[in-house]
Amino acid sequence: MIRSEERDGHLVVRIDHQRFDAAFVPTFRAEMERLLAAGHRHLVLDLAAVEFMDSSGLGALVAVLKRLGDPARLPVCGVRGPVAKLIRLTHLDKVLRLHDDVAHALSFSD
């Protein structure tokens, strides 16, 4: 459900699950905790496969942002449809760095 790979000095974390909701959040949180505990700080979150997100999914994103301490350290890509609408509605798009795809996110990375 979650895959990660090193690319250009960043860890690209792909969510291969259509629903980023209360049922999926514990899996996401555990994996992100594992990656952060392993010292990964330059992440790119790929949400291209996610078709639905609820408030618990948004909360999980905010928790990762807080843990990193700098929103610029969590570029998010592939956001579309209802997920993009929810992110805009909650103004999280003002905090997250949104990109079309992984290549675009990596081209803007620090």
- DSSP annotation of 100 reads S
Span 67-100, pLDDT tens digits: 988 766 789 999 999 999 999 999 999 888 899 9
Model pLDDT, residue 71: 62
Q: Whose CA is closest to 64, among 95, 90, 91?
A: 95
- The answer for residues whose C-beta is within 8 angstroms of residue 16's C-beta and 6 or more apart is 1, 2, 3, 49
Q: What is the pLDDT of residues 18-70, one digit of tens each?
A: 999 999 999 999 999 999 999 998 999 999 999 999 999 999 999 999 998 87
Q: Look at residue 29 in the predicted model and tell me its pLDDT.
A: 97
Q: Residues of the chain with pLDDT > 90: what percent?
A: 79
**pLDDT, position 87:** 94
Complete DSSP assignment for 15-70: E--SEESTTTHHHHHHHHHHHHHTT---EEEE-TT--EE-HHHHHHHHHHHHHHS-
Single pTM value for the model: 0.92
DSSP 77: E
CATH topology for the 2-107 domain: Transcription Regulator spoIIAA (3.30.750)
pLDDT at res. 84: 95
